[in-house]
Amino acid sequence: MVKKKRRYNIIQKLENLRSVSVIMLIISLLLFTLAIIVESAFFSSMFLLLAMVLLITWTLAYSHIGEKIKKLNS
């Protein structure tokens, strides 16, 4: 019983991390949009760089969390 409850708690925490990673995706898309709108080349490139880093981090985190949840469910 305790083991099942612990597993359920871990899965819930991973699901919460997944929602945080989706927020990171939204922020990176906003940074892409901001990079297009801003006319300064320096700030535009910095926004693009930050957005790319967030997008790569989101991809890695989302897939890793998905694998962990799949492993715990099986």
Q: Is 61 inside any structural domain?
A: yes
Share of the chain above pLDDT 70, in %: 96
Domain count of the chain? 1
Residue 39 is part of which domain span? Answer: 15-73
Q: Is 34 inside any structural domain?
A: yes
Q: Is 69 inside any structural domain?
A: yes
Mind listing the pLDDT tens digit for each residue in 19-54? 777 788 888 888 888 888 888 888 888 888 888 888
Give the single-character DSSP code of 40.
Answer: -
Q: Is 51 inside any structural domain?
A: yes
Q: Is 19 inside any structural domain?
A: yes
Q: Is residue 65 within 8 Å of 17, Cβ to Cβ?
A: yes
Q: Is 40 inside any structural domain?
A: yes
Q: Is 24 inside any structural domain?
A: yes
pLDDT score for 69: 78
pLDDT score for 2: 63
Q: Is 29 inside any structural domain?
A: yes
